[in-house]
A and B are shown apart, each in its own frame.
Chain A
Amino acid sequence: MAERETTYVAAIAEGAKAILAEQENSFVAGEDVAGAGGVFGSYRGLLDEFGPRRVIDTPISEEGIVGLGVGAAATGLRPVIDIMFMDFMGECMDEIANQMAKMRYMFGGAATLPITVVTMSGAGMNMAAQHSQSLEVWICHLPGLKVVAPSTPYDAKGLLIAAARDDNPVFVVMNKLSLRNRGPVPETAYEIPIGKANIVREGADLTLVAYSRMVAEALAAADALAAEGVEAEVVDLRSLQPLDTATVVDSVRKTHRAIVVHEAVRFAGLGGEIAAQIQEFAFDDLDAPVGRVGAPFSPVPFSSVLEQAYLPDTGKIVAEARALLGG
């Protein structure tokens, strides 16, 4: 029998359903998550199945919503909090950065906050500057928080379930342009370990480190490079905090070259951190400086022509690889 396939968005809904089914003290709260099933469809059907006690529409009050999650988690529940677009994190950054991330530490370990925050990142849908950003490094920079970024339907479900089973606050940064992508997704409630990267293509000549939607672009770039006789290894980070440095470094020791690819702006993006770690741990193995492909230092534009110029893609990765290899 062929493996069952679903879309990325259906996988999110399956993950959320599995969490509500297995954890009696869990609930989903956010803007439009109940009656509407989520503006992207991420929670479709959950209100009917679990009722308004467990699936809760909130006012448009991000700070209140995240604070609700912090207070509920500290007092024994396991909230799944939806922040519709990650661009809205500015509205709730105190509750994220000063409360959620630090409460356990400030209290000397006495508080445990098993919160899952689901949010949407990414451009490519003409949603312009305030609904298209990739702000994951904001969260990666905060000790106390974990961050995962699924690239496939399989990962979206498995990482969401892993996040909900984790006793720490975990941000699951979904990608809105991937919502209709299809892929194999088991019907069971499975979990993908947080903190482990996934080698999605093996190769000996170059390591492409990517996450979220850029994994697909990196794989396409690897195909294009293969036609030119270059075998690229593609590492899907899956987890950004904690970061699986060992898998990345092992790959670079084999290939001697690396390019980090992300949709977030290049400056002070995760690529800088990963490049630094590679040179710390594998300096002598490198045959070239670590390359970085990311968005330019600009807000996300609206018009399609500008947006495509803005976005990192297969062509830009291939060009960077050629420069690195030919240089």
Chain B
Amino acid sequence: MEQPSDDLLRDIHRRMVRIRVFETEAGRMAEAGKIPGALHLYVGQEAVAAGVMAHLSDDDWITSTHRGHGHLIAKGGEFDRMFAELFGRATGYCRGKGGSMHISNMALGMLGANGIVGAGPPIAVGAAFSTKFRNTDRVAVSFFGDGASNEGSFHEAANMAALYKLPAIFVCENNGYGEYTAQANHQAIVDVADRAAGYGMPGVVVDGMDAVAVFETAGAAIERARKGEGPTLLEAKTYRFFDHVGVRGMGLSYRTDAELEEWRKRDPIHMFEARLAELGVLGKDQAAAVHEQVLADVKAGIEFAEASPFPAPETLLEDVYA
């Protein structure tokens, strides 16, 4: 298994911090009424996107979910264009036509956040089919949640990926809740990874709060896919620190503060920073400097978005068709 170099560890850390700060500020902007619509924030799950994406290049494809900002940031998304999209501006990645739930960047290999739970896996299978058809060693990674693992689309996609031995990796981010329903109330299994056996592919469980564990486990699955050995179902056990929608959400009493506090003790960034300090890879001050720099980048992104024009009404009917 590939051991991450010091540079790679710092790179993974930076990706995580970029997600954390972006999402925290995006939440603030939403609560201030500056971002319209629904915002599903990724805070708490950063180790998953960062650990997986550290293996991918722009030529590798990913499909994402309604909670998609973190995936795009980890894949190389720029704050200015992302905030512009969330603010509904013409300079956004989708020219103001997608918003949070459809944010995407084809040039970065990001096939879109998706408002439909479970819609991504079949599309990732198509992208994986495409790379195999072309005889490249590129892969397609589909991120989805424990809730989506109950959708028929996931099962059809998993079966097809295994049948055709496609270079696809199914990354289930099990944050314990399908929207507001606890996992125990939406499926009779504990490990979504068990479902891999039904399709003839390996299923692996990893601690989704541990960036290095995610990096190593994802690395093995991605290497397997690149070598033409077929798909893997990787389940990362993680937790959503914010609500399903927004930060505080609708204040529904579906989980306890005590549970949240337990998970917060295992904050993926805090744990990773402690480890990096211990390894002498990134000191406390250096980590703080990363946060500071990223916050400055985020603020510049927000400024860019706020200064950007709204789309011209005449663009309404553009891009319905090619």
Contacts and interface: CB of A to CB of B under 8 A. Distances in A.
A108 B133 contact: no
B97 A106 contact: yes
Contacts of A98: 115-116, 119
Given A67-B125, A108-B94, A59 B319 contact: no
Given A75-B131, A98-B116, A104 B322 contact: yes
B156 interface: yes
Given A68-B160, A77-B130, A105-B97, A95 B322 contact: no
A199 interface: no
Interface in B116-164: 116, 119, 121-131, 133-134, 140, 152-153, 156-157, 159-160, 163
A94 interface: yes
Interface residues of A, number: 42
B129 A72 contact: yes
B93 interface: yes
Contacts of A146: 321
B102 interface: yes
Interface stretch (B105-113, B237-245, B249-257, B262-270): B105-113
Interface string A62-101: 0110111111111111010000000000000011001100
A298 B105 CA distance: 45
B163 A67 contact: no
Contacts of B115: 98
Contact of B106 (A64, A77, A111): A111
B119 A74 contact: no
A226 B102 CA distance: 56
> Which of A25, A75, A79, A112 neighbours the largest number of chain B CB atoms within 10 Å of its CB?
A75
A68 B122 contact: yes
A168 interface: yes
A108 B93 contact: yes
A106 B105 CA distance: 11
A193 interface: no
B133 A67 contact: no
B104 interface: yes
Contacts of B104: 106-107, 110-111
Given A71-B125, A107-B106, A63 B153 contact: yes
A167 interface: yes
Nearest to B92: A108
A67 B156 CA distance: 10
Contacts of B102: 106-107
B174 to A, nearest CB: 22
Given A68-B129, A106-B102, A168 B122 contact: no
A225 interface: no
B130 A94 contact: no
Interface string A39-58: 00000000000000100001
Interface residues of B, number: 46
Contacts of A167: 322
B147 to A, nearest CB: 15
B61 A66 contact: no
B121 A168 contact: no
A5 to B, nearest CB: 35
A304 interface: no
Interface in B304-322: 318-322
Given A94-B119, A99-B119, A74 B322 contact: no
A109 interface: yes
B123 A108 contact: no
B160 A106 contact: no
Residue picked from A27, A69, A70, A107, most chain B C-beta under 10 Å: A107
A23 interface: no
B159 A109 contact: no
B51 interface: no
Given A67-B157, A104-B322, A110-B94, A74 B123 contact: yes
B160 A70 contact: no
Given A53-B133, A98-B119, A75 B126 contact: yes
B124 to A, nearest CB: 6
A61 interface: yes
A70 B122 contact: yes
Given A68-B160, A77-B130, A168-B322, A63 B122 contact: yes
Given A103-B112, A109-B319, A168-B321, A94 B153 contact: yes
Interface string B288-299: 000000000000
A76 B105 CA distance: 15
A289 interface: no
B98 A77 contact: no
Looking at B61, B63, B321, which has the most chain A CB atoms within 10 Å of its CB?
A: B321
Contacts of B246: none
B203 interface: no
A231 B102 CA distance: 53
Of listed A67, A76, A94, residue having the most chain B CB within 10 A: A67
Contact of B320 (A70, A74, A105): A105
Interface of B: 61, 63, 92-98, 102, 104-107, 111-112, 114-116, 119, 121-131, 133-134, 140, 152-153, 156-157, 159-160, 163, 318-322
Closest 9 CB pairs of A and B: A71-B126, A67-B122, A64-B156, A108-B95, A109-B319, A108-B94, A61-B156, A106-B102, A71-B123
Interface of A: 25, 27, 53, 58-59, 61, 63-64, 66-77, 79, 94-95, 98-99, 103-114, 143-144, 146, 167-168
13 contacts: A58-B160, A59-B159, A61-B159, A64-B157, A67-B123, A68-B122, A94-B119, A99-B123, A104-B322, A106-B98, A106-B102, A108-B93, A114-B322
